[in-house]
Chain A
Amino acid sequence: MRISKTWIRSIWIPIIAVFLGLLVGAIIMLLSGFNPIQNYSNMFIGAVGTPNAIGEVLRTATPLILTGCGFAIANSAGFFNIGVAGQALLGWAGGVAFALWFPNLPRIIMLPGALIAGVICGAVWSGIAGFLRAFFGTSEVITTIMLNYVALYGTNAFVKGVLAKGDNDYSPTVPVAARLRTPFLERLTQNSTFHYGLFIAIIAAIFLWWLMKKTTLGFEIRAVGMNPDGARYAGMSDKKTIILSMLISGAFCGLGGAVDGLGNYENIIVNDAMPSIGYDGMSVSLLAGGSAIGIIFAAVLFGLLKIGGLNISIMSNTPSEIVDIVIAAVIFFVGAQYIIRYALNTSARRQAAKNAAQVAATTVATAGVDSGPGDGAPDQPRADAIPPRQRGQKQPPVEQAPDHHDDDDGEAK
């Protein structure tokens, strides 16, 4: 596979997936009697129309960048960390608990302390799954799903029993020193909930890029993800890599939860269901194909969809859930990128075949007498498959990898 090709693919697949996802949303809206163009423009206005909306979009994107990075690291190592939500929840609880238990710390110690508490909680939680996978071969998909619900009910009991005052379903608000919101950013965005977390998230995304591309550990993580047996043969410790990648993954997710807790909620509540930043972060990472810069863009896109989606139901009768349907459809098409590639390849191949037919026709016409009867016949089928390159003949942009049929065969999980 050539570098230029992978670049083209990695850019086009998510763009086509987003387009198809919006198309699915439009079809559903049409079928239920709503005006998709009106709704999508309402969504766009609702997301970028005012400084306040932009602030809300960026605030929504902030934790998604972090949880997306967390998911991406584990995914590079070949692990499907469905526990993002649970790790974020523990990070949220850890950050808020730290802030509530040490209310008198100065801001310079308080904020890093609370964030680190979140990081540690998230890392420990995913570390359990990594440890079990490394030493017992237990599927991380099942363990992280189970740990999600342990985290959900566990933190609910912790909030209700330890942090909350009286019989409340929420903890007190964290001290001012631990809050990520500041008057400056709030003024800038007309009292939105935009907060400093975005800068933490962007630094984290840069850290992810550096870790994966510039360090030995990142190289080992990618090597283990691509071929565990090969990595072991090359002398890398797969156990160590599994555990480290899961720890770092959980650390990012925990940081995401803590940032969202200290910036957005400023307390912690008893949750009915897993926090949405978990699955949304996974989706962001899948859409971005695990690239750090892609995660930032994908997270902002999700922020646009989610905040803009609220405006859909304000301006019309269309339920705002349509946005979540669009998001699910986008991820569906990212997952089914084989079919997108197949469609692209087929059209490219058809183009090539058409070209080849023309070329063959001209070749036969011009060189008909020269070719001897002996070698002419066996050459004929090949002329159909591979167009002979001629001077001045423009080659069509063929985007096909000949081996894509066997790319993902027999990949047992």
Chain B
Amino acid sequence: MDLQVILLTLVSTTLVYSAPLIFTAIGGAFSEHSGIVNVGLEGIMVMGAFAGSVFNLTFGHQLGNWTPWVGLLAGGVVGVLFSLIHAVATINWRTDHIISGTVLNLMAPALGVYLTRLLYDGRGQTAILQHPLSTMTIPVLSKIPLIGPIFFTKTSLVAYLGIIISIYCAWVLTHTRFGLRLRSVGEHPEAADSVGISVYKYRYMGVMLSGFLGGIGGAVMAESITLNFSVTTIVGQGFMALAAMVFGKWHPVGAMGAAVFFGFAQSLSIVGAYIPFIKSMPDVIFSIAPYLITIIVLVAFVGKSAAPAADGSTFVKAK
């Protein structure tokens, strides 16, 4: 293979594998900035993948080419509904955030497969999706010499969407009334409460946004990589997204960058077979690299101060 083809494949597989992580990691950032730790991202992704797959299979005939994109929204909506369990438990019922997140992770695969069996005559996995999120060539940008063929030909459009959304979300968090209030609730809920900001409302919004984006992330995973839903559709991507968020220091763009990096590590193990130097390295290095790097980054670069100050705490409004 010549260099351009290798680079093209590397870039497009990187984007394909990072897209689910980008959405979910941004979602995690919203939840944590509101002060709710969300280790249930994995479970939210499972439900998103389930909803995306079922939607894709059910409405594929009617919607045609739009199916996968509307499927993402379906995943997002189901993600929001599922994340409400976490919201009620942590915000109103004072559950430990980690326990509640773990409940989501325990619940989602069981519920997803249970519903799949109900819908598809007892089979534990869905059929192959007929309308996947396929790679496509972006019209104008692909004509740019050098960059065009590598970055914008046969590439993952949804990943670019994720990158744009991450920039938009960073702007939302730092420059809008909503974002500033959300962050104030995560940094010092009592202070926010004292100036009349509803801590409960903003925390609900933070968790629901993480549910929406996490659900989209799961749907992206199902509709672009695994192409069906089963219990092994989401194995660790949610935790990897969590890692990306920590790696990116709780910042949407940082999280996106980390997600792309993790996608790159995964794609190296696939494309690496064609690259002489990497071919000789065992696959396992690429599988464990994202996780090891996260630990190292966490120890070496990310101080405790990076996380929102009130992350993981329960706010009880004074009577």
Q: Across the interface, do A32 and B118 meet the contact criterion of CB distance under 8 Å?
A: yes
Q: Across the interface, do A138 and B39 meet the contact criterion of CB distance under 8 Å?
A: no
Interface residue from A146, A331, A412 paired with B295 (Cβ < 8 Å): A146
Tell me, in angstroms, the Cα distance from A408 to B246 when the chains sit together.
25
Interface string of B105-134 (1 = CB under 8 A from A): 111011101100110001010000000000
Kindly state whether residue B85 has any CB partner on chain A within 8 Å.
Answer: yes
Shortest C-beta distance, A413 to chain B (Å), equals 4
Selecting from A107-115, A316-324, A368-376, A389-397, the interface stretch reads A316-324
Tell me, in angstroms, the Cα distance from A7 to B57 when the chains sit together.
52
Q: Which residue of A lies closest to B243 (CB)?
A: A146
Interface residue from A82, A145, A322, A336 paired with B114 (Cβ < 8 Å): A322
The answer to whether residues A339 and B93 also contact, given A82-B102, A132-B299, A331-B103 and a CB cut-off of 8 A, is yes
The majority secondary structure among interface residues of chain A is helix
Tell me, in angstroms, the Cα distance from A408 to B95 when the chains sit together.
9
Q: Across the interface, do B242 and A145 meet the contact criterion of CB distance under 8 Å?
A: yes
Shortest C-beta distance, B246 to chain A (Å), equals 6
Task: From B95, B240, B283, name the one whose CB has the most chain A CB atoms within 10 angstroms.
Answer: B95
Kindly state whether residue B138 has any CB partner on chain A within 8 Å.
Answer: no
Kindly state whether residue B193 has any CB partner on chain A within 8 Å.
Answer: no
Interface residue from B102, B117, B316 paired with A282 (Cβ < 8 Å): B102
Kindly state whether residue B235 has any CB partner on chain A within 8 Å.
Answer: yes
For B161, the chain A residues whose CB sits under 8 A away are none
Shortest C-beta distance, B300 to chain A (Å), equals 8
The answer to whether residues A336 and B313 also contact, given A141-B39, A142-B242, A321-B110 and a CB cut-off of 8 A, is no
Tell me, in angstroms, the Cα distance from A339 to B89 when the chains sit together.
9
Q: Across the interface, do A132 and B295 meet the contact criterion of CB distance under 8 Å?
A: yes
Tell me, in angstroms, the Cα distance from A82 to B97 when the chains sit together.
13
Selecting from B5-13, B66-74, B304-312, the interface stretch reads B304-312
Interface residue from B89, B98, B109 paired with A82 (Cβ < 8 Å): B98
Interface residue from B37, B111, B122 paired with A317 (Cβ < 8 Å): B122
For B204, the chain A residues whose CB sits under 8 A away are none
Kindly state whether residue B261 has any CB partner on chain A within 8 Å.
Answer: no
For A146, the chain B residues whose CB sits under 8 A away are 239, 243, 291-292, 294-295
Selecting from A151-159, A197-205, A346-354, the interface stretch reads A151-159
Q: Across the interface, do B310 and A412 meet the contact criterion of CB distance under 8 Å?
A: yes
Kindly state whether residue B282 has any CB partner on chain A within 8 Å.
Answer: yes
- A-B Cβ contacts below 8 A, count: 153
Tell me, in angstroms, the Cα distance from A329 to B100 when the chains sit together.
10
Q: Across the interface, do B93 and A338 meet the contact criterion of CB distance under 8 Å?
A: yes
Q: Which residue of B lies closest to A129 (CB)?
A: B295
Q: Across the interface, do A147 and B291 meet the contact criterion of CB distance under 8 Å?
A: yes
Interface residue from B94, B110, B235, B291 paired with A328 (Cβ < 8 Å): B110
Kindly state whether residue B146 has any CB partner on chain A within 8 Å.
Answer: no
Kindly state whether residue B226 has any CB partner on chain A within 8 Å.
Answer: no
Interface string of A140-174 (1 = CB under 8 A from B): 01110111111011101100010000000000000
Q: Across the interface, do B294 and A80 meet the contact criterion of CB distance under 8 Å?
A: no
Kindly state whether residue A325 has any CB partner on chain B within 8 Å.
Answer: yes
For A319, the chain B residues whose CB sits under 8 A away are 113-114, 117-118, 122, 124
Interface residue from B96, B239, B287, B309 paired with A153 (Cβ < 8 Å): B287
Q: Which residue of A lies closest to B118 (CB)?
A: A32
Q: Across the interface, do A286 and B99 meet the contact criterion of CB distance under 8 Å?
A: yes
Q: Which residue of A lies closest to B85 (CB)?
A: A332
Shortest C-beta distance, B237 to chain A (Å), equals 10
For A405, the chain B residues whose CB sits under 8 A away are 316
Tell me, in angstroms, the Cα distance from A329 to B99 when the chains sit together.
12
Q: Which residue of A lies closest to B314 (CB)?
A: A408
Interface residue from B103, B239, B284, B288 paired with A332 (Cβ < 8 Å): B103
Identify which of residues 66-119 in chain A touch chain B, using a CB-to-CB cut-off of 8 Å.
80, 82
Interface string of A291-323 (1 = CB under 8 A from B): 000000000000000000000000001010111
Shortest C-beta distance, B130 to chain A (Å), equals 25
Kindly state whether residue B232 has any CB partner on chain A within 8 Å.
Answer: yes
Interface residue from B92, B98, B110, B292 paired with A150 (Cβ < 8 Å): B292
For A136, the chain B residues whose CB sits under 8 A away are 299
Shortest C-beta distance, A315 to chain B (Å), equals 14
Q: Across the interface, do B288 and A150 meet the contact criterion of CB distance under 8 Å?
A: yes
Kindly state whether residue A379 has any CB partner on chain B within 8 Å.
Answer: no
For A329, the chain B residues whose CB sits under 8 A away are 107
Q: Across the interface, do B312 and A413 meet the contact criterion of CB distance under 8 Å?
A: yes
The answer to whether residues A408 and B110 also contact, given A149-B288, A272-B232, A282-B102 and a CB cut-off of 8 A, is no
Tell me, in angstroms, the Cα distance from A139 to B311 when the chains sit together.
12
Q: Across the interface, do B313 and A412 meet the contact criterion of CB distance under 8 Å?
A: yes
Shortest C-beta distance, A148 to chain B (Å), equals 8
Tell me, in angstroms, the Cα distance from A334 to B99 when the chains sit together.
9
Interface residue from B288, B304, B314 paired with A409 (Cβ < 8 Å): B314
For B310, the chain A residues whose CB sits under 8 A away are 412
Interface string of B263-285 (1 = CB under 8 A from A): 00000000000000000001110
Task: From A325, A329, A411, name the one whose CB has the most chain B CB atoms within 10 angstroms.
Answer: A325
Kindly state whether residue A283 has any CB partner on chain B within 8 Å.
Answer: yes
Interface residue from B95, B106, B111, B235 paired with A283 (Cβ < 8 Å): B106
Q: Across the interface, do A321 and B114 meet the contact criterion of CB distance under 8 Å?
A: yes
Shortest C-beta distance, B142 to chain A (Å), equals 35
Q: Which residue of B lies closest to A149 (CB)?
A: B291
For A32, the chain B residues whose CB sits under 8 A away are 114, 118
The answer to whether residues A412 and B114 also contact, given A156-B284, A319-B122 and a CB cut-off of 8 A, is no
Q: Across the interface, do A157 and B283 meet the contact criterion of CB distance under 8 Å?
A: yes
For B316, the chain A residues whose CB sits under 8 A away are 405-406, 409
For B105, the chain A residues whose CB sits under 8 A away are 279
Kindly state whether residue B64 has any CB partner on chain A within 8 Å.
Answer: no
Shortest C-beta distance, B83 to chain A (Å), equals 14
Interface residue from B232, B236, B282 paired with A149 (Cβ < 8 Å): B236
Show 12 A/B contacts (Cβ-Cβ < 8 Å), sorted by A. A141-B37, A146-B243, A146-B292, A149-B239, A283-B102, A321-B114, A334-B99, A338-B93, A405-B316, A409-B313, A410-B313, A412-B310
A32-B118, A157-B287, A161-B282 given; name 9 further pairs at CB < 8 Å. A142-B298, A149-B291, A154-B284, A154-B288, A283-B102, A332-B100, A335-B100, A338-B93, A408-B314
Nearest 3 Cβ contacts at the A-B interface: A324-B110, A413-B312, A157-B284
